[in-house]
Structure 1
Amino acid sequence: MLHCRGTHMRLAIYTGIILASGYACLTPALAADPTGDWRVADGVANIRVAQCNGAMWGAVSWEKKPGGRDENNPDVSKKNRPTLGMATLINMKKTAGAEQWEGQVYNAKDGQMYSATITPEGTDKLEIKGCVLGFLCGGETWTRVSPPIPLSTANAMAKGAPKTTGAAPKSAPAAAPAPTAAAPKSAAAAKPGQKSSTDPVGDICLLPEIAGFAH
């Protein structure tokens, strides 16, 4: 740390330019975690991102205007499906040597599938970029609205590891008699596998569209 810092200070003295890479040496490395709920750029929806079978998937977990339908889908059989719970980030795999995931994104606004990447920017921003057939590229930044999501029982099973670390005990209180105030708390935390009237999506790895692909 001190060597890196000193090197760039000397470079600044000799050249009169403070290199951007020098700032990176002063910034502690944080593990990037794209899981959790994210507000899209125009604020009309939240996308819940979770790890399912070793890949990142995203699904609509909240809509500003409830009752949305996938009416722009070119597949006639899907035009009437609800957009709530619909998969948007598709089977995104970790990029070697980078805090980035690559896969596909479905854009309900035009009914198109894009090649895409997601890249955490710090802990509260997620940059998403997509292109159609290598061109018509664009992107936007999403803002975090809930903390990262720990692996759920469904995730562990999808990975072929029948572990119950943490997930089972967390869901147990929901099954036992509890004060009515407990439900809002669990909904706000958006714990994997739990559903309520305010969080009808729950663990997105259990959604048929994702579970069928991931398993």
Structure 2
Amino acid sequence: MKNFVRMAVAAAALAGCGLAGAQSAGTWSARVGATYLSPDVDSGTLSAPSFPNTRVDAKSNSQLTGGITYMLTDNVALDLPVGLPFKHDLTGAGAIAGVGKLGSTKVIPMTLFAQYRFNEANAAFRPYVGLGVTYAYFYGEKTTATLNGLTGGTLANPTTAKLDRKFGITPQIGFVYNFNERWFVDAAYYKSFLKTNIHLSSGQSISVKLNPDVFAIGIGYRF
């Protein structure tokens, strides 16, 4: 019985060492999951000629995502989220609220986070804070007949739109819960402070603060 107890204690100690080593400096991990991105829009007004107080809004979207993390030290990490492009519908707001969909755009939000992870390297639960730089790569813009009607576009010469690709700052909070030395769950909330401009082929433009709220969760494996 004493030998069994000694063996159990030794096994637990080895497991703890494995968990510590897996979360320490120089280790890599990867995860896969989902992300919900909800723009918190503060729209300017469309430049003339337009109805007064003509504004826009952007709808939320969810996508399959993941990420790669590298531990610089036992507490400091670099994290790179990856995933499929998000697609957001653009709708009328302000004076044109209720007109429906004006267009859509796809975006790849490329962000690199520096994170500080609390607790010891062998802890099962590790909350963290992060700060990242985001580059929002907008592409694939499409417009609708509704926008044509508002801007004077026609079937032969429809009004098109282009969004500026911009940088933004992204603070983050989250946690990692380690099931064992290899498998874990990672959950995070972050907010990108991002402003862009929408340019129409009609010569009009509008400045929009998108400032999306982002919720991400994933299951990961540590190498």
TM-score range, shorter chain: 0.3 to 0.5
TM-score by length of 1: 0.34
* Bigger radius of gyration: 2
* Structure with a larger share of its residues in strand: 2
TM-score by length of 2: 0.33
Higher relative contact order (CA 8 A, sep 6+): 2
